[in-house]
Amino acid sequence: MSRALNSLILLALSVLVALPLLFILLQAIFPQLGAGSWQGAFSALPRLFADDTLLPMWVGTLKVGVGVALCSLIIGLPLGALRGLFRLPGGALWDLLFLVPFLTPPYIAALNWTLALQRNGYVQQLTGLDLESLLFSASGITLVMTVNIFPVVYFAVSRALMASGQRLALVARVHGASAWRAFWHVTLPLLLPTLAGSALLAFTLAIDEYGVPAALGARAGITLMTVGIEQKLSDWPIDLPGAAMLSLLLSLVALAAWFAQRRLTASQDVATIGGKPATSEAASAGVWTLPMVLLFALTALFAVALPLCSMTLSGLLNTLSGGVSGTNLTLRHFAALFSQQGDALSAFSTSIGLALGAAILTGVLGFLVAWRVAEGKSRALALLDGLALLPAAIPGVVIGVGLILLWNRSFWPVSPYNSLAILLLSYCCLLLPWPVRYVSSALRQLAPTLEPAARVHGASRIQALRLVVFPLVSPSLLAAMMMVFAVASRELVTSLLLAPAGVQTVALFIWRQFEQGSVGQGMAMATLTLFASLALMLSAMALLHRSKKL
């Protein structure tokens, strides 16, 4: 049965990931692929290396990727550890706040920061502080990206600690270790796979990110690889093979990082969840509760409130040139959203439906992949793992092109192309790495004896999975599914390329407003959808909470 399941997973991964990537590879090698010809193989390769902007672009991308991963660890690790170990007042609320960066499309986040920090921006208008030179620099790009990406580390760390409880650290305390020593020598090393996994995810997200470097990089004089790829696709003549080549190079970087992460953590046994009953009650922080809350508040102020205010303000200003003043405030941008023949509303429901579908599909498949990979040691399973991570390393626009090349063929009897299903496929492909990463680091903390113990006591394989393994990893899985939902509900790059004629999603709607010069209306829509999605997630969480209690 397990073999049948493995084949089924492999089939799903092939359709979702391997086939589109194969077509990108083919496109890189055979420039005439779109026209159905195999001529001129490898002719794009010498052109790629003849380009003298390649090296600085590559180095710049690496620097930003490493910088974002480090900064995300610096912010995400302490916050995540505090959240996971201690009773934090309003815990779920802080989680929700740190989801806001995910619900904000990166290009809007970059625009929010630009409108806030550039010369004569909101911050200067209100406080006189001019931060333009910081914003438009390599550090500025890294910081803005970190603000959007650090929640990856925060959620991974806090969920891992919540699931594993503090039994081993308590043992250390009982034997005389100080609280700090117990954390440093027990808790932290056990977190290593989680840290490495989430740092890897942060790194790949950063090098794969397009919106922020596109918005800030041009002014900073820095071109990152995603922008380089996009450039090959944005002016006539379109250079598909060149873009595909460059993407392959980018995915090699991510693959190298993945190998490094595997080597780093492969030999360690970090199982913390055995059969012994453990209270997973978080400790009280005592007098440190207030400073802890202040630390969370400070982070939320900078990472969440500032860009959010910038966004809402832009939606409320009658004109940008009018500046921040009481007479320049209006609700007309919000009102206009409801008067456009229901466009905004239908875009919203399309996006929410697709995001929900993507969260469920990637959640199920991601859990299965992680579970199978954690159980076996074979090479074939490592292949599954690698395959499921690969999309994180490929820029969205290239996955979009790969999906067109794959599905827009007359030989398919039925094709998802030109229907909403192609968007669902692309979101699932892009976001599958999230549940896989989160669940597999959670699984590595389960003692390998747990499942056999259940089997010995007469549970069937399915029962052991359902009653033992699944409940223990479900916090991580849910966190990942929330993130998938958040990202899918505002995905722009592949939607722009793949949306069937006549279909709008939220991100497309907003982007089209910007393109027509209606910054106010775009921001109004962004604000409204952000709060609507937050409300949706909040009620989903409340429902889950209630059903647990019953």
Partner 1 sequence: MLLTTAAMINNAHALTVYTAGPGSLAKSLATGFEKQTGIKVNIFQATTGKVMARLEAEQASPQADVLISASWDTAEDLQQRGWLLPYQSPNAGKVPDAFKTADYVAQGISALGIVWNIQSGTPEPKNWQDLTGPAFKDKVTTPDPALSGASLDLLIGLQNGEGEKAWSLFQQLKENGMVISGPNAQAVTPVLQGAKAAVFGAVDYVTYNNIAQGEAVKVIFPEGGTVVAPRPMMILKSTQHADDAKKFVDYVLSDAGQQQVANAWLMPARTDIKAQRPLITEIRLLPMQQDGSADRASVLKRFATLFGQ
Which residues lie near partner 1 (CB under 8 A)? Answer: 34-36, 53, 111, 114-115, 118-121, 132, 214-215, 218-219, 221, 223, 231, 233-238, 240, 318-323, 357, 401, 404-405, 408-410, 416, 418-421, 424, 496-497, 499-503, 512, 514-520
Q: How far apart are CA 510 and CA 527, in angstroms?
A: 10
Least distance between partner 1 and beta carbon 420 (Å): 5
- The most distant pair of C-alpha atoms in the chain lies apart, rounded to whole Å, by 74
DSSP 305: I
Residue 287 gets which letter from DSSP? Answer: G
CB of 196 to partner 1, least distance (A): 35
Among candidate residues 484, 496, 503, the one with its CA nearest the CA of residue 403:
496
Q: What is the DSSP letter of 413?
A: S
At residue 86, the 3 state secondary structure works out as strand
Contact 525, 509 (CB under 8 A): yes
- Three-state SS for 93-158 is HHHHHHHHHHHCCHHHHHHHHHHHHCCCCHHHHHHCCCCHHHHCCHHHHHHHHHHHHCHHHHHHHH
In terms of CB distance, is 133 or 539 closer to partner 1? 133
Minimum CB–partner distance for residue 123 and partner 1 (Å) = 12
Nearest approach, Cβ of 256 to partner 1 (angstroms)?
27
Q: How far apart are CA 108 and CA 311, in angstroms?
A: 8
Handedness of CA 376, 378, 384, 385 (dihedral sign): positive
Instruction: Write down the least CB distance from residue 215 to partner 1, Å.
Output: 7
Q: How far is the CB of 66 from partner 1 (least distance, A)?
A: 23
Task: Give the chain's length.
Answer: 550
Closer CB to partner 1, 203 or 511, in the complex: 511
CB of 470 to partner 1, least distance (A): 27
State in angstroms the smallest separation of the CB of 57 from partner 1. Answer: 11
Residue 53 or 268 with smaller CB distance to partner 1:
53
Sign for the pseudo-dihedral over CA of 239, 245, 249, 251: positive
CB of 418 to partner 1, least distance (A): 6
Q: Which is nearer to partner 1, 38 or 259 (CB)?
A: 38
* Rounded (10°) angle between helices 379-389 and 343-375: 160
**Rounded Cα distance, 149 and 65, in Å:** 11
Q: By C-beta, is 194 or 513 nearer to partner 1? A: 513
DSSP class per residue in 342-375: THHHHHHHHHHHHHHHHHHHHHHHHHHHHHHHHH
Q: Which residue lies nearer to partner 1 by CB, 84 or 357?
A: 357
* Torsion angles phi and psi, residue 283, rounded to 5: -80, 160
